[in-house]
Chains A and B, each alone.
Chain A
Amino acid sequence: MKSSVITFPGSNCDRDMDVALTKFGFKNKMVWHNDKELPKSDLIVLPGGFSYGDYLRCGSMASKSKIMHSVINFAKSGGLVMGICNGFQILVESGLVPGVLLRNKYLQFICKNVHVKVENKDNTFFKNLDKKVLEFHIAHNEGNYFCTNDQLKEIEDNNQIAIYYCDQNGNTNDQINPNGSIKNIAGIFNKEKNVLGMMPHPERMIDESLSGEDGSIFFKNLLNNIK
């Protein structure tokens, strides 16, 4: 299976994502933001980092870069696109998934392990996953998901919520919400479920010596689903 990771100026999880995808059997290529054409890919990943320094709204500059035209076309024709952290912010800014990502509620960068509940398995990203709660890792300053009430209704009606922040038993409540996201939303799909944006970093959980191994479960499952 072929994947491509886009490097924007200021991306800093591009290598980590490349390591993870390669480890689980993807043939991965790194793609420069200024390129026009995407290599033939089964999966496009927008990695974490601080694209263009995030001095404007996070992800907004990157969403206008040259390669994003091809990424948007790829997504619109049904191709799988995944945005992690800053990648999620870029997806939001480019309109591929609904809503916005605000500054964390306590106005602090936060780096720690969190649990997420997988709500919707009727899609290529989470199909056949045998766990309902995964332990992932977050590291962000602007992950506070927000949308209007109308948008939220639409999102819920279409089953677009991918993952929620929860405790280890899968309970979602305010106390467990690390950044103030509406409804504890940690990740979201587009309507067609071929685009996933999420704040947690599965690529940081890919061997027992790191923060955990649930990232391995996620990537192995993803590869099997694409095959």
Chain B
Amino acid sequence: MSVNEKIAIEHGLKSDEYKKICKLLKRTPNITELGIFSAMWNEHCSYKSSRIHLKKLHTKGKKVIQGPGENAGVIDIEDGDAIVFKIESHNHPSFIEPYQGAATGVGGIMRDVFTMGARPIANLNSIHFGSTQNKKTKNLLRGVVHGIGGYGNCMGVPTIAGQTSFDRSYNGNILVNAMTLGLVKKDKIFYSKAAGLNKPVIYVGSKTGRDGIHGASMASASFDEKIEEKKPTVQVGDPFTEKLLLEACLELMSGDSIIAIQDMGAAGLTSSSIEMASKGNLGIEINLNKVPCRETKMTPYEIMLSESQERMLIVLESGKEEIAKKIFDKWNLDFAVIGKTTNTKNIQLFFDNKQVANIPVNTLVENSPMYDRKWKKSKLPKKNKINKTIFKSLKIKDTLKKILSSPNVCSKEWIWQQYDHTVMGDTIQKPGGDSGVVRIHKTDKAIAATVDSSATYCWAHPLTGGKQVVCETWRNLISVGAKPIAVTNCLNFGSPEKEENMGEFVECVQGISEACKYLDYPVVSGNVSFYNETKDIGIKPTPTIGGVGLIKNYKKMITMDFKEIDNIVLVIGKTEGHIDQSLLSRIILNENNGPPPEVNLFNEKNNGLTLLNLIEKNFIKSAHDVSLGGIITAISKMCIKGNKGIQIKKPKFLINEIEYFFAEDQGRYLIEINPKNLEEVSKILDKNSVHYDEVGKIIDKEMIIDQKTKLTIDELKSCNTNWLKSYMV
């Protein structure tokens, strides 16, 4: 088949991109070469619209061993240990085929982590669905949860935390973001940079099939009514093979056979071989007849573009083939020497003794298109003038019940009980807390991890929203007593070709960068997912941040459940009464406009570090950050978890009760302390200029706001826990 512009456009390339390819090659590419270019130059692999802005992210820090650009980021957690982690999207495939889409998302991110030599120790996920009224939502949610569980449970890696939200803007594009953390010794980290000439290039893992061909291109386009036809582009996962691959790779990595290793993820054999060659400034020669295939008569084009899962590409030290083969034989995995490194700086492919592709590696990587797309700056919306008489008509009790049972606040137990969260025997904080926490096996250390996003705030004002998400994860880590170290980001947006969407992206990235820099909380890995839109309707901007922190002595970990009757509860951080974009505003007052709560980075850092100091001094019995639904929602969750009540002290200052209880001002935490420590704690808070108010005293089994407003813990619990279960029946 001879290639022309029409065929190039069918491959998702633009007309001028095709012209550029012909110019770089000084000839017309053949079909295999065109396939390779289309796979490398699509948005998903090339980051052509985002690269220019991603450079602005704050990525440096004392604890950073490896920042963005590798399979995953790596941070130092002392004693020679390091944590490898990354988050990645699998949005498009999950909408088309929820089980396999979500499952292979989990499989892919785990491979990114163990490719670097780390044993995965925890999984997290952030999943977003359309309105609960939408007829597709239930099936998509069920499929995605089964898929995540199906893969992670079989791998024997605990899923320790996550986030689930529902919003109309995801009706046509759900989001599935999966995150994995792995543990590695600092001096045993593996990278993807090939080195040395004539070194054997090894293919290991599953056989190559016709599944997932053009998966990465599919993920770089919007959906229309023909999406069902794209089902064959979704990969099929086999967690059992991945478990074997994990064990076999770690076994091989314990020796000194590997020069470079790269998993075959998006764009399969194409991107993995080119990545390794590009980083090593080398060429690679592959004999495609040697690639283990699952199906007969696969063409070079299909072999290069297949996204079959559970495969790895390794550059070995010469002469180590037998040692490596023995290990993969033991684990019943395919092992084939398929090529070698060369000094040509080209990728050369051979099939049936003929050369079928010969492309300079730099044309695919450094010369890939980069766009500085037009974008529109957003203005901070005007504040709503809410008529205070409306507040008088609201009953706190009814409002609280509505919020506790609303889809985005209710307990997600139905979801996380389907994930094995205790395997590996080190999970010391399960899902449902502010962060998941796992111990570093056989040490006193523990790692806390959390994942968060706030599409509503980002949609209202991307710059503030971007900052807010970073701060939210920072607070989640502090609340369990962990020192925040670094983040990974998954940037889910609409089409970059639309100025509004591009503007949302640029400004969210700016917000993320500002917050990360101020908090010394760098971005070490991540991915970008554009074109989350169907028939021109895009999602709300949804940057997802995964935060990771260290607890030096796991016995000092904090949980959110109220511990002891008569203890005092304080709120740290000032409550100004910001209602716009709050849950109260959106689901009770039906008001969707207005600015998100302001993010004050100074207070954020100061409040957080002061709380860590109080935790270090053993003053804190329980803690929880204040987020969606305000103080009263946060208190309710602490009551439910601890099965204890609270006698609430009304605010002294001039702020309406409703505003006080439901406002979503940032930088706040609730803490429980013993009354005998109140003086000491106050002193520390005052000394650090941290604002605080006393909220109440812990009592038995009842929340008492005033004589007329009382709720039993069972009432709170049934509101919070029943909604999702009954929805999913």
Seen from chain A, the residues whose Cβ lies within 8 Å of a Cβ on chain B are 9-10, 12-13, 15-16, 19-20, 48-50, 52-55, 108-112, 137, 139, 141, 201, 203-204, 206, 209-211
On whether the beta carbons of A9 and B331 are closer than 8 Å, the reply is yes
Chain A residues contacting B149 (CB-CB under 8 Å) are 109
Cβ–Cβ contact B420 & A109, under 8 A: yes
Once the chains are docked, how many angstroms separate the CA of A19 from the CA of B442?
10
Which of B359-393 touch A at CB < 8 Å? none
Q: How far is the CA of A111 from the CA of B420 in the complex (A)?
A: 6
The answer to whether A50 and B423 touch (CB under 8 A), given A13-B156, A109-B418, A112-B417, is no
A54 to B331, CA, bound (A): 16
**Interchain CB contact (< 8 A) of B423 among A9, A16, A209:** A16
Q: Which chain B residues have a beta carbon within 8 Å of chain A's beta carbons?
A: 146, 149-150, 153-156, 238-241, 243-244, 331-332, 416-428, 430, 439, 554-555, 557
Known: A12-B156, A13-B156. A210 touches B418 (CB 8 A): no
CB neighbours (8 Å) of B146 from chain A are: 108
Closest 4 CB pairs of A and B: A12-B156, A53-B240, A16-B425, A50-B154
Given contacts A12-B243, A16-B424, A111-B416, 14 further A-B contacts (CB under 8 A): A12-B156, A16-B423, A50-B153, A52-B240, A53-B239, A108-B418, A109-B150, A111-B422, A112-B417, A141-B153, A204-B425, A209-B428, A210-B426, A210-B428
In the bound complex, how far is the Cα of B423 from the Cα of A52, in angstroms?
18
* CB atoms of B428 and A203 under 8 A apart: no
Distance of A67 from chain B, by nearest CB (Å): 15
Which residues of chain B have C-beta atoms less than 8 A from A108's C-beta? 146, 417-418
Residues in B whose Cβ lies below 8 Å from that of A53:
154, 238-241
Q: In whole Å, how far is B322's beta carbon from the nearest beta carbon of chain A? A: 19
Complex-state Cα separation, A209 to B240, whole angstroms = 30
Residue in B418, B423, B554 whose beta carbon sits within 8 Å of that of A110 in the complex:
B418
Q: List 9 A-B contacts (CB under 8 A).
A: A10-B154, A10-B243, A12-B243, A16-B424, A53-B240, A111-B421, A209-B439, A210-B425, A210-B428
CA distance in complex: A135, B241 (Å):
34
Residue of B nearest to A9 (CB): B244
Q: Are A139 and B555 in contact (CB under 8 A)?
A: no
Known contacts A9-B244, A52-B240, A111 near B419 by CB under 8 Å: yes
In the complex, are the beta carbons of B153 and A139 less than 8 A apart?
A: yes
* Residues of the B chain whose Cβ atoms lie less than 8 Å from the Cβ of A111: 416-422
Which residue of B244, B419, B426 contacts A109 across the interface (Cβ within 8 Å)?
B419
- List of B residues within 8 angstroms of A19 by Cβ: 425
| Bound CA span A108–B416, Å | 11
Q: How far is the CA of A12 from the CA of B419 in the complex (A)?
A: 14
Contacts of B417 in A (CB 8 A): 108, 110-112
> Nearest-CB distance from A2 to chain B (Å)?
22
Which of A9, A20, A49, A210 sits near B156, CB closer than 8 Å? A49
The smallest C-beta distance from B458 to any residue of chain A, in angstroms, reads 32
A210 touches which one: B154, B239, B427 (CB < 8 A)?
B427
Output the nearest chain B residue to A206 by Cβ-Cβ distance.
B425
**Whole-angstrom distance from the CB of B183 to the nearest CB of chain A?**
13
With a CB–CB cut-off of 8 A, which chain A residues contact B416? 111
CB nearest to A108 among chain B residues: B418
| Complexed CA–CA distance, A53 and B332 (Å) | 13
Query: Which residues of the partner chain A approach B426 to less than 8 Å between Cβ atoms?
Result: 210
Q: How far is the CB of A133 from chain B (nearest CB, A)?
A: 20
Closest-CB distance, B331 to chain A (whole angstroms) = 7
Closest to A211 in B: B422
Among A10, A54, A112, A201, contact of B244 (Cβ-Cβ < 8 Å): A10
Contact indicator B425/A139 (Cβ below 8 Å): no
**For the complex, what is the distance from the CA of A19 to the CA of B439, rounded to whole Å?**
14
Distance in Å from the Cβ of B231 to the closest Cβ of chain A?
21
Give the residue of A15, A20, A54, A137 whose beta carbon is less than 8 angstroms from that of B422.
A137
A137: chain B residues at CB < 8 Å are 422
Q: Which of A9, A55, A137 is the most central at the interface, judged by chain B CB atoms within 10 Å of its CB?
A: A9
Write the chain B residue with the least CB distance to A139: B420
Distance from A114 Cβ to chain B, minimum over Cβ atoms (Å): 12
Return chain A residues, CB-CB under 8 Å to B239: 50, 53
Closest to A19 in B: B425
Residue of B nearest to A49 (CB): B156
Contact B153 A109 (CB under 8 A): yes
* Contact residues in B for A9 (Cβ distance below 8 Å): 240, 243-244, 331-332
| Interface contact B418-A139, CB-CB below 8 Å | no
A139 to B158, CA, bound (A): 11
A88 vs B554: C-alpha distance when bound (angstroms): 33
The minimal Cβ–Cβ distance linking B239 to chain A, given in whole angstroms, is 7
Tell me, in angstroms, the Cα distance from A10 to B243 when the chains sit together.
6
Q: How far is the CB of B243 from chain A (nearest CB, A)?
A: 6
Bound Cα distance A15, B119 (Å): 13
Closest chain B residue to A111 by CB distance? B420
Docked pose: A110 CA to B420 CA in angstroms: 8
For residue B199, give the distance in angstroms from its CB to the closest CB of chain A.
30
C-alpha spacing A54/B149, complex, angstroms: 14
Return chain B residues, CB-CB under 8 Å to A16. Answer: 423-425
**Contact partners of A54 in chain B: CB under 8 A:** 154, 240
How far is A185 from B341 in the complex, measured between Cα atoms in Å? 59
Residues of A within 8 A of B422 (CB): 111, 137, 139, 201, 204, 210-211
Q: Which A residues are CB-close (under 8 A) to B420?
A: 109, 111, 139
Residues of A within 8 A of B156 (CB): 12-13, 49-50
With A and B bound together, what is the CA distance between A48 and B158 in angstroms?
14
A17 and B57 CA atoms in complex are apart in Å by 43
CB distance from B366 to the nearest CB of A (A): 41
Bound Cα distance from A63 to B184, whole angstroms: 34
Tell me the complex Cα distance, A15–B439, Å: 15
